């Protein structure tokens, strides 16, 4: 019988042949390696769990650990990624999930579960925190043409503007394929982080962080075309829970293949965004 142990940075070479079986042409070896380097220098020295048989890695469950200040308080986070097991060991797959039950001080998230991951995680007490995503087209209502706003990409200027909490987020995400925008409107300014992803062969910008949602929604009609042009995308994506009853013209509510899920004794779903996750590191 195979055994489970913590995955360490030195295990990447033995695990990579397994990760290649995801057959994701957009992900190179160096992308997968980011899961094994403790990118946010968390206190946890491991990067998930591996299933080992006779020295061979036959299963892997990635875990991205981070610490973050949310609403003025420090929290420990763990984002689960890339659960894969060799076919002949699938009956032992659940062993990789069990260590997650010991992480009681962490908020554990799974942003892109498949059906098997979703069903197994629900048995461990995970809860849904998102079922839909909002597609925002660049087309605007009439008022969007009469409001002034500006978009700043200069990193030196952005870093000077940000408060301590946002500055940490900014520095933590500089190594990845993120767009960092400081957006100024008549209602105020906010900091936006997105990644450029492809959905059904169409490039879109996935929103991971908005420092001030109130200003964002007040100004989105005037901003969405400008943001799309700046980022060279055809639309924006934001998780539906952040809509908070707001409406956006020419936008579409779409159901996710499987709900995003989490397990936490400390945070509610509206406090969770997709920073410090596989969506950023692997640009999913």
Q: What is the pLDDT of residue 104?
A: 87
Query: Which of helix, strand or coil describes residue 250?
Result: coil
Q: What is the pLDDT of residue 214?
A: 95
Phi (first) and psi of residue 124, to 5 degrees: -90, 5
Q: Can you give the C-alpha Rg of the chain in angstroms?
A: 20
Q: What is the pLDDT of residue 149?
A: 82
| pLDDT over 60 at 113, yes or no | yes
The string of pLDDT tens digits covering residues 77-100 is 999 999 999 989 888 888 998 898
Do 237 and 133 contact (CB within 8 A), yes or no?
yes
* Bridge partners, residue 132, by sequence: 255
pLDDT band at 199 (very low <50, low <70, confident <90, very high): confident
CA distance 41 to 15: 21
Which domains occur in the chain, in start order? Answer: 3-131+276-281 (3.40.630.30), 138-249 (3.40.630)
Across 103-109, average pLDDT:
92
Among candidate residues 136, 153, 121, the one with its CA nearest the CA of residue 239:
136
Q: What is the pLDDT of residue 144?
A: 56
Beta strands in 71-137 (DSSP E): 73-85, 106-110, 127-136
Q: What is the pLDDT of residue 145?
A: 57
Q: What is the pLDDT of residue 143?
A: 60
Q: What is the pLDDT of residue 258?
A: 95
* C-alpha count within 13 angstroms, C-beta hemisphere, residue 141: 11
CA distance 3 to 21: 21
From residue 7, alpha-carbon distances to 43, 77, 161, 207 in Å are 15, 17, 38, 30
Phi-psi region of 48 (alpha: psi -120 to 50; beta: other; left: phi over 0): left
Q: What is the pLDDT of residue 78?
A: 95
Q: What is the pLDDT of residue 158?
A: 87
């Amino acid at each position: 019988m195979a055994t489970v142990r913590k995955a360490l940075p030195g295990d990447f070479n033995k695990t990579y042949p397994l990760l290649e079986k995801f057959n994701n042409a957009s992900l190179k070896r160096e992308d997968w390696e980011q899961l094994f380097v403790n990118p946010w220098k968390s206190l946890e020295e491991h990067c998930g769990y591996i299933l080992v048989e006779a020295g061979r890695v036959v299963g892997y469950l990635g875990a991205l650990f981070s610490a973050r200040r949310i609403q003025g308080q420090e929290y420990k986070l763990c984002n689960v990624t890339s659960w894969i097991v060799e076919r002949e060991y699938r009956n032992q797959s659940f062993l990789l999930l069990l260590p997650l039950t010991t992480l009681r001080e962490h908020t554990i998230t799974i942003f892109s579960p498949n059906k098997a991951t979703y069903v197994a995680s629900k048995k461990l007490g995970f809860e849904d925190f998102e079922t839909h995503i909002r597609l925002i087209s660049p087309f605007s209502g009439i008022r969007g043409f009469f409001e002034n706003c500006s978009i700043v990409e200069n990193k030196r200027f952005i870093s000077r503007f940000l408060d301590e909490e946002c500055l940490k987020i900014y520095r933590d995400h500089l190594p990845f394929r993120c767009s960092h925008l400081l957006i100024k409107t008549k209602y105020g300014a906010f900091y936006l982080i997105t990644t450029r992803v492809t959905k059904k062969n169409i490039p879109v910008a996935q929103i991971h962080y908005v420092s001030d949602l109130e200003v964002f929604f007040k100004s989105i009609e005037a901003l969405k075309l400008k943001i799309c042009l700046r980022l060279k995308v055809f639309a924006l994506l934001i998780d539906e829970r952040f809509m908070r009853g707001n409406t956006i013209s020419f936008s579409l509510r779409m159901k996710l293949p499987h709900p995003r899920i989490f397990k936490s004794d400390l945070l509610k779903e509206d406090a969770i965004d997709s920073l410090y996750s596989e969506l950023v590191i692997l640009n999913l």
